[in-house]
Amino acid sequence: MKHKPLRDQVIVITGASSGIGLATARMAARRGARVVLAARSTDVLARIVGEIEAEGGQAVAVTADVGQRADVQAIADEARACFGGFDTWVNVAGLTVYGPLREIAYSDHERLIQTNLWGTVNGSLIAVEHLRRHGGALINVGSVASDLAFPFQGLYATSKHAVKGFTDTLRMELIAEGAPVSVTLVKPASVDTPLPNRARNYMDREPTLPPPIYPPAEVANAILHAAVHPQRDIFVGGGGKMFVMGKALVPGAYDELAPAIIALQKRGEPPRNPTGALHAPAQAGDERGDPPVYVMRTSAYTRATLHPLTTLAIATGLAATGALALARRARRPL
């Protein structure tokens, strides 16, 4: 399946007021797409739309809480009213909570699931009602936490596991009915966004993300690639892919890394804003955060996987190397 060029598309992006959503909106507009931006921060969205229009792009903003189905329906309605519909829908909106599961208030657990899981469910089901008639792409942003557990971000990992299960099931149902809709799950590793700064924090230290950390533009590029050239899953960051493979091989060894993973999620300074943006919009408007460690410039692994011939060449090379090693081993005398 192949979709329209970006310059001919209308793209809906939730969580567009910061981080990956904002980076994707700006990149899509610069590549000629008309964009519909959705988030809770009305003033920030208005400023971003102004920036895009000042550069010659076309954009419209919708204030919405993706955890509310009526709000998400309003996003789709605005896209139809302004641009006649949409070709790609990207579910990015998400938040996290740092702290031991036993210490986190039920209301915080509930709110995180409402945004991360139900926001994705709402966006996907409403988007697909339009896309199954007109064709297009649904892109959900999961995480390496769709495949890995992270102590002290337990409900975040739970929500991303659930997003993966939902996305995979929806894809299968669309295939069964022959709908002209591609479904992609993008799974970033740690990304330099304000996610930790906007988190609800129960720890005694300011939160951060474990390295390696990648720039949000790398995720935005993968999302927009999938809008034209669909792929089932895209890992952003070779480091994340390596951790997932390692856990699959030796899950017990990964579990033993729990103390190190907890330590890597803590900065040396006390909490700045423990309340975060979980229950109300706050600290929106920035693509990037301020991680205390080096941020990778790109991900060679991700760039390679976006091009099937390169991926095939890598796989063929690995297979040939393995076959050669087995052949040499077989020739050794016993």
Q: Which two tokens stand for residue 37?
A: 């931006």
125 and 191 in a common domain: yes
pLDDT of residue 307: 83
**Residues sharing a CB contact under 8 Å with residue 162, sequence separation 6 or more, in sequence order:** 113, 117
Instruction: Verify whether residue 156 is a known catalytic residue.
Output: yes
- The total of structural domains in the chain comes to 2
* pLDDT tens for each residue of 227-244: 999 999 999 999 999 999
**Residues sharing a CB contact under 8 Å with residue 141, sequence separation 6 or more, in sequence order:** 20, 90, 91, 92, 94, 186, 188, 219, 223
Q: Which of 33, 63, 23, 21 is nearest to 45 (CA)?
A: 63
167 and 184 in a common domain: yes
pLDDT tens digits for the chain (334 residues)? 889 999 999 999 999 999 999 999 999 999 999 999 999 999 999 999 999 999 999 999 999 999 999 999 999 999 999 999 999 999 999 999 999 999 999 999 999 999 999 999 999 999 999 999 999 999 999 999 999 999 999 999 999 999 999 999 999 999 999 999 999 999 999 999 999 999 999 999 999 999 999 999 999 999 999 999 999 999 999 999 999 999 999 999 999 999 999 999 999 999 999 999 999 999 899 999 999 999 999 999 999 999 866 555 655 655 565 566 556 655 555 5
What residues pair up with 138 in beta bridges, in sequence order? 89, 183
Catalytic pick among 156, 214, 254, 294: 156
**113 near 97, Cβ under 8 Å?**
no
228 and 94 in a common domain: yes
146 and 27 in a common domain: yes
Residue-range definition of the domain harbouring residue 200: 6-298
* HSE toward the beta carbon, residue 32, CA cutoff 13 A: 6
Pairwise CA distance, residues 203 & 199, whole Å: 11
139 and 208 in a common domain: yes
Which string of DSSP letters, residue by residue, matches 159-184?
HHHHHHHHHHHHHHHHHHHT-SEEEE
pLDDT of residue 2: 86
293 and 225 in a common domain: yes
10 and 119 in a common domain: yes
pLDDT of residue 309: 62
* pLDDT tens for each residue of 1-25: 889 999 999 999 999 999 999 999 9
117 and 245 in a common domain: yes
Within-domain flag for 1: no
Q: Which of 280, 219, 235 is nearest to 92 (CA)?
A: 219
For 213-225, b/e burial (b = at least 16 CB within 10 A) is: bbbbbbbbbbbbb
311 and 247 in a common domain: no
* pLDDT tens for each residue of 77-96: 999 999 999 999 999 999 99
Q: Could you tell me the CATH number of the domain that includes residue 92?
A: 3.40.50.720
Give alpha helix (H) positions in 234-307: 238-249, 251-255, 258-264, 300-305
pLDDT of residue 35: 98
200 and 89 in a common domain: yes
pLDDT of residue 1: 80
